[in-house]
Structure formats: structure tokens, C-alpha cells
Amino acid sequence: MKLESVQSRRHVSIRQVGLAGLGVVGKVQKESVRLFEILVEEGKRVETRRDKAAQTPVPAALKALRDKALAQLNKLQEVVQEGSARVLHVVGLPSLIDIQAISTRLDELQASIQDLIPESRAPESRARKTALAAIG
């Protein structure tokens, strides 16, 4: 009886971890699309301004000034991209690396769970069920 209680609590905890992982994925999918679209639009505006500045004919004396301004604009674009990544982190939206780490950890937890479940209680795999159904 006591063993069942411990296994039940472990099952609830593991289930909660899995649900939390799914919650993270859902939040990222929901919020990151909207934020990504905003950032893409801003990026297009910056790129358009940069391209117009690069194509504008200028006297040779101003070429150095234009090149310096374009270099500063490129640096600003990098700063904005880095800042956007930090904002996403502060807001609580995980990065792609964070999501991959969570996915790896969930795979490890699933393997650990399978190791804890006696083979007689382990659910049959889909392939095994299909094979058994085909036999008889």
C-alpha cells in the first residue's frame, strides 16, 4: 500500500513536469509569433532606410561620412537584435536553446520513468500492439 502511494506521488510530480513543459511550449508558440512579426517589420524598416542611404549618390567628400553612418547603423541593428533577445528572456519567453534543453530533459525523465516501471506494467508499444493484432 505504501509503495503505491509513493509511485502515485512520483507519477503526479512527473506529470506536472511534463505539463509544465507543454505550457512552456504553448506560451512560446503563442507569444513568440506575435513578437517575431513585430521585430521582422521593424527589421524591414531599418533595412529599407539602410539600403536607401547606401544607394543615395553623394559627393566623394561625403563618402567617408556616409560609410561611417552606415557602419553605425549596422552596429545599432546588432544592438537591437541583442536587446530583443534579452527582452524575450526577461519577459520569460525561452530561447531556442532553452526549449531544446527542456526537450532533452523531458526525454531523460521519460527514460527514467520507463526504467522505474516494471516491464509487466509498462504499456505496450504501438509496434508491439500492431504486431500482435496482425498475428491474431
Residue with cell 527514467: 112
Kindly state whether residue 31 falls inside one of the protein's structural domains: yes
Specify the higher pLDDT residue, 28 or 10.
28
Continuous segment of H or E residues that includes residue 94: none
Task: Please say if the pLDDT value at position 2 is more than 70.
Answer: no
pLDDT for residue 1: 47
Kindly state whether residue 94 falls inside one of the protein's structural domains: yes
Continuous segment of H or E residues that includes residue 23: helix 2-55
Q: CA–CA separation, 104 vs 10, rounded Å?
A: 20
3-state DSSP assignment of residue 115? helix
Kindly state whether residue 128 falls inside one of the protein's structural domains: no
Half-sphere exposure of 11 (CA within 13 A, CB side): 7
What domain count does the chain have? 1
Tens-place pLDDT, residues 68-125: 888 888 888 888 878 877 777 777 777 777 788 888 999 998 888 888 877 655 555 6
Q: Which structural domain range is residue 80 located in?
A: 2-119
Question: Which of the four pLDDT bands, split at 50, 70 and 90, describes residue 16?
Answer: confident
Quote the distance between the C-alpha of residue 71 and its chain's center: 31
Kindly state whether residue 36 falls inside one of the protein's structural domains: yes
Tens-place pLDDT, residues 42-66: 888 988 888 887 777 767 667 788 8
